[in-house]
């Protein structure tokens, strides 16, 4: 009964101690400008059985990271040495693959069972060590039974690596959002260890683990330079359309494009990432949605799934009598936008926490 909280406390203490050491080393670095020393960053993550609410009454048994799905944000700098201790408290084996990272000289930390390591058995811990490179929008996910663990057990999270020398447009960004897309087959919701097989009919579709109307608006203001990082974390194609604007398709899989282009709709598939730059110049309330129409349903009900809005501060939302979200309770950090403003670290978000599975 008391063993688990003690382990957690120990971990928290260790993490805090590590932070103090790193803060001290960072201060030392600050007195030698130009040294540009890579930092070592240590984190820990526990994989747990968790019940996540997708929307309304639809819950799903997931394997969460520190109780949340999507998992915590890892936000580090290019060249940092990263150590992540992963403890498996579920009854099934898992690994973590750091999608997009080079793993030069550390291929045994790429997180693929039976290819780069044995899977982490229930009750055991594995520490991943690698250099944060290349820069850009990366992500992490389990690589055991990906058809189930990634496709419908919520085992993914964002891994953002800031470039050492950011291009000018990145310095202009005022709001930075992360959107992870995934689909779910409710027939398997209560059957961990099963599912993700041919014949599945996905019937719930989420952005950051929630389906409309339980998603959140992107709150911006005129003049904002908005970066939106789209991550195909699930098993389907998506065709995301943003109303009222053209955005610049800025980066693909973390790499800035040689020839960025303007668009209002972007198609991407499982595993892909696109970074969009949107200049906020058209105050209003604007729809953002997947144009693959079945992805905007919840079960058999229309007007759900992968939909959200952009709300400009200039528009008094509560006065729009027709607006579905006029009285919505706003949950910040739903797109990691608050965490992205904080110092480099691992950031958890209450917005993504579920309940412990019985």
User: Residue 329 and residue 351: Cα distance in Å, rounded?
Assistant: 12
CB of 169 to Cu ion, least distance (A): 37
CB of 74 to Cu ion, least distance (A): 18
Nearest to 236 by CA among 315, 290, 301, 173: 290
The C-alpha R_g of the chain, in whole angstroms, comes to 20
Q: Counting contacts by CB under 5 A, is residue 150 touching Cu ion? A: no
Residue with Cβ nearer Cu ion (59 or 64):
64
Helix (H, G, I), strand (E, B) or coil at 335: coil
Q: Counting contacts by CB under 5 A, is residue 94 touching Cu ion? A: yes
Per-residue x/- track, 199-218, Cu ion (CB under 5 A): --------------------
Q: Counting contacts by CB under 5 A, is residue 149 touching Cu ion? A: yes
Q: Counting contacts by CB under 5 A, is residue 141 touching Cu ion? A: no
CB of 209 to Cu ion, least distance (A): 16
CA 159 vs. chain centroid, Å, equals 7
Residue with Cβ nearer Cu ion (124 or 314):
124
Among residues 52, 82, 142, 230, the one that binds Cu ion under rule CB under 5 A: 142
Among residues 144, 276, 307, 344, the one that binds Cu ion under rule CB under 5 A: 144
Residue with Cβ nearer Cu ion (121 or 269):
121
The two three-digit tokens of residue 170, written as one number = 């990145």
For 231, list phi and psi in degrees, rounded to 5.
Answer: -125, 120
| Sheet of 247-252, strand order | 204-207, 175-184, 225-232, 273-279, 247-252, 255-263
Residue with Cβ nearer Cu ion (120 or 307):
120
CB of 302 to Cu ion, least distance (A): 33
How many residues line the site for Cu ion (CB under 5 A)? 4
Determine how many CB atoms are found less than 10 A away from the CB of residue 19: 13
CB of 50 to Cu ion, least distance (A): 13
Q: What is the Cβ-side half-sphere exposure of residue 161, based on CA atoms within 13 angstroms? A: 28
Measured CA to CA in angstroms, residue 153 lies from 61, 65, 70, 94, 117 at distances of: 7, 11, 10, 12, 21
Longest dimension (CA), the chain: 61
Nearest to 208 by CA among 233, 189, 227: 233
Residue with tokens 């194609």: 237
Segment near Cu ion (CB under 5 A), from 32-40, 148-156, 169-177, 263-271?
A: 148-156
Helix (H, G, I), strand (E, B) or coil at 12: helix
Nearest to 142 by CA among 167, 112, 118, 117: 112
Residue with Cβ nearer Cu ion (142 or 278):
142
Segment near Cu ion (CB under 5 A), from 97-105, 145-153, 166-174, 264-272?
A: 145-153
Residue with Cβ nearer Cu ion (94 or 295):
94
Q: Counting contacts by CB under 5 A, is residue 99 touching Cu ion? A: no
**Which residues are within 8 A (CB) of 257 and not within 5 positions of it... i.e. 6 or more apart?**
249, 250, 251
CB of 149 to Cu ion, least distance (A): 3
CB of 94 to Cu ion, least distance (A): 3
Which residues inside 284-343 make contact with Cu ion, applying CB under 5 A? none
Which residues inside 14-53 make contact with Cu ion, applying CB under 5 A? none
CB of 113 to Cu ion, least distance (A): 9
Segment near Cu ion (CB under 5 A), from 94-102, 120-128, 251-259, 321-329?
A: 94-102
CB of 144 to Cu ion, least distance (A): 4
Q: Which residues bind Cu ion (CB under 5 A)?
A: 94, 142, 144, 149
């Amino acid at each position: 009964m008391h063993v688990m909280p003690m382990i957690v406390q120990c971990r928290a203490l260790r993490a805090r101690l590590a932070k103090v050491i790193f803060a001290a080393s960072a201060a030392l670095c600050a007195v030698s400008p130009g040294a540009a020393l890579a930092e070592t960053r240590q984190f820990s993550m526990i994989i747990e059985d968790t019940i996540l609410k997708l929307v309304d009454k639809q819950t799903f048994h997931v394997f969460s990271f520190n109780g949340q799905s999507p998992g915590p944000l890892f936000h580090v700098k290019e060249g940092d040495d990263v150590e992540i201790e992963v403890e498996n408290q579920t009854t099934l084996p898992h690994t973590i693959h750091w999608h997009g990272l080079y793993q030069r000289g550390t291929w045994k930390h790429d997180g693929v069972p039976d290819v780069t390591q044995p899977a982490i058995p229930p009750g055991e811990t594995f520490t991943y060590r690698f250099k944060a490179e290349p820069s850009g929008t990366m992500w992490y996910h389990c690589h055991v039974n990906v058809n189930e663990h990634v496709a419908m057990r919520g085992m993914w999270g964002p891994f953002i690596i800031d470039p050492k020398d950011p291009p000018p447009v990145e310095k202009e960004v005022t709001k930075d959002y992360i959107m992870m897309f995934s689909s779910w087959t409710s027939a398997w919701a209560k059957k961990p260890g099963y599912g993700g097989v041919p014949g599945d009919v996905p019937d719930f579709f989420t952005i950051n683990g929630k389906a409309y109307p339980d998603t959140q608006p992107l709150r911006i203001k005129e003049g904002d330079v908005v970066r939106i990082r789209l991550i195909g974390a699930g098993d389907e194609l998506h065709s995301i359309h943003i109303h009222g604007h053209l955005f610049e398709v800025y980066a693909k899989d973390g790499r800035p494009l040689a020839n960025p282009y303007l668009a209002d709709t972007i198609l991407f598939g499982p595993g892909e990432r696109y970074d969009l730059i949107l200049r906020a110049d058209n105050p209003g309330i604007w729809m953002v949605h997947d144009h693959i129409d079945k992805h905007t349903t919840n079960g058999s009900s229309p007007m759900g799934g992968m939909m959200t809005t952009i709300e400009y501060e200039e528009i008094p939302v509560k006065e729009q009598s027709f607006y579905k979200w006029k009285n919505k309770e706003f949950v910040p950090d739903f797109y990691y936008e608050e965490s992205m403003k904080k110092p480099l670290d691992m950031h958890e978000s209450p917005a993504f926490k579920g309940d412990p599975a019985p």
